[in-house]
Amino acid sequence: MAQADLNEHRSMLSNSVTNFARGVDLARVRKLRDTNAECDRAVWTQMAELGWLGVLAPEACGGMGLKLGDMAIVAQGLARALVPEPLTAAAVLAARVLADSNNDTLKSKLLEGLVSGEMLPAVAWQEEAGSLDVNNINVQATPAGDGFRVNGSKRFIMGATSAEGFIVSAKSAHGMQLLWIPRDTAGATVQFDRLADNRQAATLTLANVSVPKTHIINSGDIAAGSLARAIDHASAIIGAELCGIMSRSLEITLEYLKTRVQFGKAIGSFQALQHRAVDLYIQQELSSAVLGDCLAVLDGEPDAKTRSAAASRIKARCADAALLITRQSIQMHGAIGYTEDCDVGLYVKRAMTLAAWLGNGHTHRRRYAKTEILEGAL
């Protein structure tokens, strides 16, 4: 696409997100505490109709075949409004894995379903906290019939509350298998843990689950490579969500600094708070600069090492900046910031969930050190 078209296109995307976000009611986000309704399928369908679930999916599957830079606009805008639907989990993580599949029948069913909003798949790959290594898994796929029998369990699965099934990575004698396991498959059980923002992380336990050949998404090195790339891309888009979270939280706080009066003046006139606000603003701008820069690198489809380094730069900066900004938003609000009614609390909580998902700042710096610093130093 020519640059002018691209800009035009991105501003349209951005407008549609802004319009949608304007109609979002935070009361629903607050109520998540008492419900399990993080994915409202009516909202989800609307998001599909706006084309957002298909931003990255190829046109052949009903998608738009656009870039991460486009996806980031949608993710950032929806995060600003705290939309709880699992956009990144489905439209990035799952969509990327499915797009690489050479099982055309399954791919068209799942990916077209995902894009149209009718089918919600959740990726179940991680088993150990703090690990970004797709091969660090123990779920086993042993040959059975024309497919596999699968045993083991997966953790930290996002977007699973109303998912129709799981994309599961497993070890086999022939390397990794990426398998489609519908939710109601015999032997598959799902259990949920509440997260800081009242969304849910699922744990999937598989006991002698049968997977037919027709449910194999990908195998061997292609499977592992595809999953690793999907995780890096999802980490980058979580970075975009974190940018949305931090910018809205800072905006609310700056507004408060201008209006809250103590000692006869707006508290924003106290230099201690002015300098703090400036430092937070610098963190916000650093985050968006890193995001823009590294998304361009990722959209250039570099080698795996460059790709992981770019994703880690985004996630490390955006996670830590969002945590800092949202926590300081509480502080600068005083007691009211410590209440459930104050919106900044919702941003603190979403920041915690997003920061921890697919590697927090520390995990990403550790990975970056390993490939970018320690290996080079040898």
Partner 1 sequence: MNAAATAAKVDYNAMDDEAFRREARAFFENEYPENLRFLPRRLSWVESKPWWLSLSKKGWLAPNWPVEHGGMGLEPGKLIIYWEETERAGIGRMPDQGVTMVGPTLIRFGNEAQRAQYLPKILSGDNVWCQGYSEPNAGSDLASLRTEAVLDGDHYVINGSKIWTSMAHHATNIYVLVRTDKAVKQQRGISFLLVDMKTPGITFRTIRNIAGHEEFCQVFFDNVCTHKDNLVGKLNEGWTIAKGLLTFERLNIGSPRRPLQAFEQLDTLARAQKLFDDPGFVDRYTQLKMDLNDLGSLYQRYVDKARRSEALGPDISMLKVFAMDTYQKLAELLLEAGAEYGAYADEVMLADEKIDLMTPFYTSRPGTIYGGSNEIQRNILSKYVLQLPN
Provide the binding-site residues for ligand FAD, judged by CB under 6 A: 260, 262-263, 267, 270, 272-273, 331-332, 334-335, 338
Chain residue whose CB lies nearest ligand FAD: 334
User: Angle at the Cα of 41 (from 52 to 61), degrees rounded to 5?
Assistant: 40
Measured distance CA(87)–CA(78) in Å, rounded: 9
Among 287, 355, 367, 368, binds partner 1 (CB under 8 A): 355
What is the separation of C-alpha 64 from the centre of its chain, rounded to a whole number of angstroms?
19
Give the interface segment with partner 1, choosing from 74-82, 106-114, 211-219, 327-335 (CB under 8 A): 327-335
The partner residues of 167 in beta bridges, in order of sequence, read 123, 180
Give the interface segment with partner 1, choosing from 5-13, 102-110, 291-299, 354-362 (CB under 8 A).
354-362
2-21 residues near partner 1, rule: CB under 8 A = none
Place of tokens 């990908």: 218
Nearest approach in angstroms of CB 156 to partner 1 is 5
Asked whether 102 and 50 are in contact (CB, 8 A), the reply is no
Q: Mark the segment that binds partner 1 (CB under 8 A) among 117-125, 139-147, 280-288, 323-331.
A: 323-331
Contact indicator for 287, 243 with CB cutoff of 8 Å: yes
Q: Which is nearer to ligand FAD, 135 or 331 (CB)?
A: 331
Give the number of other Cβ atoms within 10 Å of residue 108's Cβ. 15
Q: Which is nearer to partner 1, 130 or 182 (CB)?
A: 130
Q: Which residue has the tokens 């109303």?
A: 162
CB of 87 to ligand FAD, least distance (A): 33
Binding of residue 93 to partner 1 (CB under 8 A) = no
152-155 contact pairs (CB < 8 A, 24+): 152/127, 152/205, 152/206, 153/127, 153/203, 153/204, 153/205, 153/206, 154/124, 154/125, 154/126, 154/127, 154/203, 154/204, 154/206, 155/126, 155/127, 155/128, 155/129, 155/201, 155/203
The size of the chain, in residues, is 378
- Which one of partner 1, ligand FAD, none interacts with residue 352, CB within 5 to 8 A by kind? partner 1
For residues 246 to 285, the per-residue mask of contacts with partner 1, x marking binding by CB under 8 A and - elsewhere, is ---------------xxxx-----x-xx------------
Q: Is 208 helix (H, G, I), strand (E, B) or coil?
A: strand
Nearer to ligand FAD, 52 or 256 (CB): 256
Question: Could you tell me if 74 and 53 are in contact, meaning their C-beta atoms sit under 8 angstroms apart?
Answer: no
The rounded distance, in Å, linking the Cα atoms of 345 and 338 is: 7
Q: Does residue 305 touch partner 1 according to CB under 8 A?
A: no
> Is there binding between residue 342 and partner 1 (CB under 8 A)?
yes
Query: Could you say which residues in the range 159-198 bind partner 1, by CB under 8 A?
Result: 193-198
**Residue 6 or 252: which CB sits closer to partner 1?**
252
Nearer to ligand FAD, 183 or 276 (CB): 276
Residue 355: contacted member of partner 1, ligand FAD, none (CB under 5 to 8 Å, by partner type): partner 1
Footprint of partner 1 (CB under 8 A): 33, 126, 129-130, 155-156, 193-198, 201, 261-264, 270, 272-273, 323, 327, 330-331, 334-335, 337-342, 345, 348, 352-353, 355-357, 359-363, 365-366
